[in-house]
């Protein structure tokens, strides 16, 4: 049985499966902290929400890519992935805090594509910073 778990294909499938489950969980958490419903807005064609959500997906995936590359166990990968997600979540709140002239969530919900794009860039950019530390 040990040979099965040490098989490279099984290991890749395990990392992939866990990362996808974490991605779904983390997107659910983002759904709770935003004032809009991501998937309903995307279905309606709200490009700002799609960009912001895409940035979050890319950011989380980037953190997990580095976490998988740098650690030798699923538990370590999950731990660093969760830590990276928390850092991205903090970044989201910092973005909201640093824009007191408008509410980021409200602008994204209203399909303000400029704010959606900046949100995407912040998620992707800071995911590289977090991932570099992993």
Helix axes 74-97, 8-33, angle to 10 degrees: 30
Q: What is the mean pLDDT of residues 25-36?
A: 91
Number of H helices, E strands in the chain: 7, 0
Q: What is the mean pLDDT of residues 5-24?
A: 87
**In the chain, what percentage of residues exceed pLDDT 70?**
97
pLDDT interval class at 7 (50, 70, 90): confident
- Residue 6 pLDDT > 80, yes or no? no
Q: What is the mean pLDDT of residues 38-51?
A: 96
Q: How many residues does the chain have?
A: 134
The pLDDT assigned to 71 comes to 78
- Residue 1 pLDDT > 80, yes or no? no
- Residue 91 pLDDT > 80, yes or no? yes
The pLDDT assigned to 51 comes to 97
Please choose, from the candidates 70, 57, 74, the residue with its C-alpha nearest in 3D space to the C-alpha of residue 16. 74
pLDDT interval class at 5 (50, 70, 90): low
- Residue 83 pLDDT > 90, yes or no? yes
Between CA 25 and CA 123, with CA 85 as vertex, the angle to 5 degrees is: 110
Q: What is the mean pLDDT of residues 20-34?
A: 92
How high is the mean pLDDT of the chain? 91
């Amino acid at each position: 049985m040990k040979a099965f778990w040490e098989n490279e294909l099984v290991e890749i499938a395990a990392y992939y499966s866990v990362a996808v489950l974490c991605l779904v969980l983390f997107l659910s958490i983002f759904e709770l902290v935003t004032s809009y419903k991501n998937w309903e807005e995307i279905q309606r064609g709200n490009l700002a929400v799609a960009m912001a959500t895409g940035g979050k997906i890319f950011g989380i995936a980037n953190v997990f890519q580095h976490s998988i590359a740098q650690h030798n166990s699923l538990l370590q990968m999950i731990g660093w992935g969760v830590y990276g997600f928390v850092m991205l979540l903090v970044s989201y709140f910092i973005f909201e805090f640093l824009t007191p002239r408008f509410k980021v969530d409200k602008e994204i919900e209203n399909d303000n594509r400029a704010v959606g794009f900046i949100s995407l860039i912040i998620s992707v950019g800071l995911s590289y910073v977090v991932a570099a530390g992993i």
